[in-house]
Amino acid sequence: MIHQRLHSFIQTRRCTLLGVGPMSLNCVDATIELANDYDTPILMIASRRQIDSEEFGGGYVNNWTTEEFAHYVTENDKKGKILLARDHGGPWQNTKEINENMGLRRAMDSAKSSYSADIAAGFQVLHIDPSIDIHGDPDVDEVLDRVFDLYDFCWSQAQRRSKEIIFEVGTEEQSGSTNSQEELDYTLRAIKKFCTKNKIPPPTFVVIQCGTRVMEMRNVGSFDSPIRVANEIPAEIQLPKMIEICNSHGIFMKEHNTDYLSDEALQWHPRLGIHAANVAPEFGVTESKALVNVLEKYGLVKLAELFLKVAYESRKWEKWMVEGTTSTDRDRALIAGHYVFSKPEIKELKDEAGIVLKRKGIDLDQYLKQEVKNSILRYLRNFRLVREI
Amino acid sequence: MKKAATIILNRNLPEVTDRLYEHLVEYDGDQTDVYVIEAGSDKKNLSKYHTWYVGTEDVLANGLRYSRGMNYGMVELLKEGRFDRYDFFFLLTNDTEFQDGPTISPLIQVLNKHPRVGLLSPCSERWGERRLLLSEKTKYFWFVHNNAYMLRREFVESICDTETPHYMDFLFDGSNFRGYGSEHELVAKAYANYWAAAITSEVWASENESHLIEHADQIRTEGYDQNLQLYISEGQRWMRKKYGFNSHWSMQQYVKSFYEKFFEFHPEYVQYKL
């Protein structure tokens, strides 16, 4: 049903579906409101670091557990337009599994436990991604074995609970490079064979590296680059070919790391036949920038400085830096801002700012939510999910 | 009789150009005559092997760049009655580098094996395309980067302007000065006329961008970043004006439609399709 509904929607609308990372409470609210206002399905793609079950101590987004997050979304999504999606589920995709240096079997069991909570909470799209292995570098067949194990587990769990789920596969990592066409074809064939043999529906989405890569506050991949990126197949060649392979298998192609692409590049997504695309950190950065701007604009400079300091000191910006970066400390803090929104000192800071700004006629969270909405709307418009000018 | 005419474009980098010339003579001298165009180089910076010197006011100030430069070379060959003598034209920027060993002979062998290939480029080790050239070392592409094109004369003749040959538009459209989008246009013209554009890993070539980055002053061109910005903005303007395309993706779709058609009419080459 979900698969059919999405298929029909994409075909009729000639659009690209949007996956939004739930970067913050405001981002979640903005997404729900847009999906309901414009009657468009949006995938809310939660990574395990953002949202995870009680057992894992929840995630950094609003300190929500999987159950709390799913409950909040379903309560507020009046028209049922949001598809709750697990992004990059799988072993070692949560810091606990890494910090405890879990072995393969324990990490797989841990991942299954997380998926189980997802299914129980009503997640509808599960991304099976066992490509991370902190103890080695598994080859394609080893990764596929793990995919089959997790796929079978999730399907059985869903059947037992009478929940409808669809799957996303793809051993994507943010390499900015391109999976080989042979590897994609091989992977899809193997997965379909497994599904047929076990009478499980094939995956709805497969993640394809399309030459997108997010670093700092820009997309540095080849998709939007008018010039050649060393060692990469030009997107002009890679993309049509990968789409052709996905279409031949009847599986939707999903792009990750779509953040910061230009309007022109985004407008080409539906035309090229890219079925879905994920965007996440850009929305977090949008909110951080908006917060700092409004604080500074209304003379709350000390609060802005405190936010930037806490964000900077979290050092969550480190993984986003390009080699030889010239980013300022302020840039780094803005990149890391959304990781600290739920820290008590930032909540207090926002409460204090909220009181001052209210006197000036500004509802801080409404303002921040609107900024995030504008950012999401850029994608909805360019992906033909919203028709208004 | 040599089968190929190699045309090298130089602007103020005589040592680099001479090295490329000498490499070609050493390894491919039996297969090619080598012609060097001096695109408004300073008198002290001429290649010792230069064939033609272009010293008009505009070229002195701005150079010729790839499209106008290669047109110039081919037009000169035509005027001098030497165009018909060659079966192939190998068009090189002076920053092209090859491995030690023959380059032209293997390329000619590939062209002989692929009679409908009008445009052939050696692959570069820095290009991702090398991963597509594993089981088949030569494949037909709808996008080919242009630092070392080997063109078949019949292909050139099928699309060039022989009536009023001029360096502005003989084969490439010289109005697109820096050439962003020109590769798409040439490949589209190939497939539209049932010629294929191929990349081969039988030989390798690379583009040494360090010359442009480190010697922009000497070449008398803009710095790397400014040149890049102009390359793109001018090319986009050209695409919009000439084709009404607002994006290189439109151009790509345009080329690919001809590419697909080619295989409908030449199914015998489908094994070389991407």
What is the least distance, in Å, from the CA of A47 to any CA of chain B?
A: 30
Q: Are A239 and A210 in contact (CB under 8 A)?
A: yes
Dist CA B204 CA A100 (whole Å): 48
CB A350 within 8 A of CB A364: yes
Residue B218 pLDDT greater than 70, yes or no: no
The pLDDT assigned to A177 comes to 46
B44 touches chain A (CB under 8 A): no
- SS3 (DSSP) at A276: strand
Per-residue pLDDT at A231: 83
Kindly report the pTM of this predicted structure: 0.86
Point out the residue among B127, B142, B249 whose CB comes nearest to the CB of A268. B249
Closest-CA distance of chain B to residue A140, Å: 17
Distance of CA B134 to the CA centre of its chain: 24
The whole-angstrom distance between B126's CA and the closest CA on chain A is 5
Return the pLDDT at A269.
Answer: 95
Q: Chain centroid to CA B256: how far?
A: 20
User: Coil, strand, or helix at residue A134?
Assistant: coil
Question: CA–CA separation, B252 vs B241, rounded Å?
Answer: 16
Give yes or no for B247 touching A (CB within 8 A): yes
Looking at this protein, which amino acid is placed at residue B87? D
CB contact under 8 A, B249 and A238: no
Candidate from B131, B246, B247 with C-beta closest to A233: B131
CB spacing of A237 vs B129 below 8 angstroms: yes
Q: Environment class of residue A220 by beta-carbon count within 10 Å: exposed (0-12), middle (13-18) or buried (19+)?
A: middle
B210–chain A Cβ distance below 8 A for any pair: no
Mean pLDDT of chain A: 94
Pairing of strands B148-152, B117-123: antiparallel
The Cα of A106 is separated from the nearest Cα of chain B by a number of Å equal to: 36
Rounded to whole angstroms, how far apart are CA atoms A196 and A127?
19
Q: What is the pLDDT of residue B20?
A: 97
Backbone angles phi, psi at A363, to 5 degrees: -90, 110
Q: What is the ipTM of this complex?
A: 0.81
The predicted structure's pLDDT at residue A387:
80
Instruction: Answer whether A228 sits within 8 Å of B127, measured CB to CB.
Output: yes
| Identity of the amino acid at A284 | G
Q: Is A128 within 8 Å of A134 (Cβ atoms)?
A: no
Average per-residue pLDDT for chain B: 93
Residue A379, classified by CB atoms within 10 Å of its CB into exposed (0-12), middle (13-18) or buried (19+), is buried
| B173: number of Cβ within 10 Å | 19
More confident residue, A226 or A312: A312
Mark out chain A residues that contact chain B at CB-CB < 8 A. Answer: 177-178, 180-181, 226-228, 230-234, 236-238, 240-241, 264-265, 268, 271-272
Distance between CA B241 and CA B251 in Å, rounded? 13
Q: How sure is the predictor about B215, in pLDDT bands with cuts at 50, 70 and 90? A: low
* Angle made by CA atoms A281, A283, A285, in degrees to the nearest 5: 70
The proportion of chain A whose per-residue pLDDT surpasses 90, expressed as a percent, equals: 85
Question: How far apart are the C-alpha atoms of A121 and B233, rounded to whole Å?
Answer: 51
Helix B104-113 to helix B14-28 angle, to the nearest 10 degrees? 60
How far apart (Å, rounded) are the C-alpha atoms in residues A85 and A128? Answer: 11
Beta bridge partners of A119: none
Confidence of residue B214 (pLDDT cuts 50, 70, 90): low
Are the beta carbons of A268 and B247 separated by less than 8 Å?
yes
